Each structure stands twice: as C-alpha cells, then as structure tokens.
Amino acid sequence: MALRMTTPRLLAVQAFLEDPAREWYGLELAQRAGLEPGTVYPILIAFENAGWLASRDDDIDPHAEGRPRRRYYRLTADGIEAAQEWARAAQRRHGARRVREGFAW
C-alpha cells in the first residue's frame, strides 16, 4: 500500500527511526513527534494497514496500574525500510536542513 508523504507522517517516521526496534504507545509517540494525539492515531492506523507497524495491547490490570491499557506499536522490517526511504526522500527534497527536533520545513 502506497502512502502519501505528509509532514505529520514524516515527524512520526522520524520518531520511530530514533530507535527502530522500540515499541511506542500512541500518546508517547505523539509527544515525541510534536503531534496532537488526534493526529497521530490516524497515522498509526495507516502505517499498520500498510504493513509498516505491528501492534500489541498492554497486558496489565488497569486498576492495579492506575492507568488505562495501552496499545504499543513498533516498526516491521518493511516499515523500517519504508521509513528510511521516506526520510531519505524528504532530505533530498528539502536538502539536509534539519532543526534539533525535526525537519526544518
């Protein structure tokens, strides 16, 4: 499935690529990428539908932990490859300009 490259998607990709083996939950990824939760969840769904992400539900007792269950996402092998290609394409398109915490556009 081909996904359209957008700035919010690129910011999410950049966060995932910081540590490609890491699992992220939605709110954590939104904060790291500088996105609103309402923006990041459709991105996660699109990436998962494209085969870029695998996900799993938290296996906790919400009452004992004092928080709701989380859904964790991690890049698949195809997702790592696609995310790296997106990052390279964005750098080619916009030069190598970056700011400390994200792309410079």
Q: Is residue 31 part of a domain?
A: yes
Q: Is residue 101 part of a domain?
A: no
Q: How many domains does the chain have?
A: 1
Provide the 3-class DSSP secondary structure of residue 7: helix
> What's the rounded Cα separation, in Å, for the pair 24 and 8?
16
Please say whether the beta carbons of 25 and 72 come within 8 A.
yes
pLDDT given for residue 105 in this prediction: 47
Residue with tokens 């085969």: 51
- Residue ranges in the chain whose pLDDT is less than 70: 1, 95-105
Element of type H or E holding 56: strand 53-57
pLDDT given for residue 81 in this prediction: 95
Q: Which residues constitute the domain of residue 19?
A: 7-58+69-95
Q: Is residue 46 part of a domain?
A: yes
pLDDT given for residue 97 in this prediction: 54
CATH number of the structural domain spanning residue 18: 1.10.10.10
Q: Is residue 64 part of a domain?
A: no
Q: Is residue 15 part of a domain?
A: yes
Cα distances (Å, whole numbers) of residue 25 to 15, 55, 100: 12, 9, 23
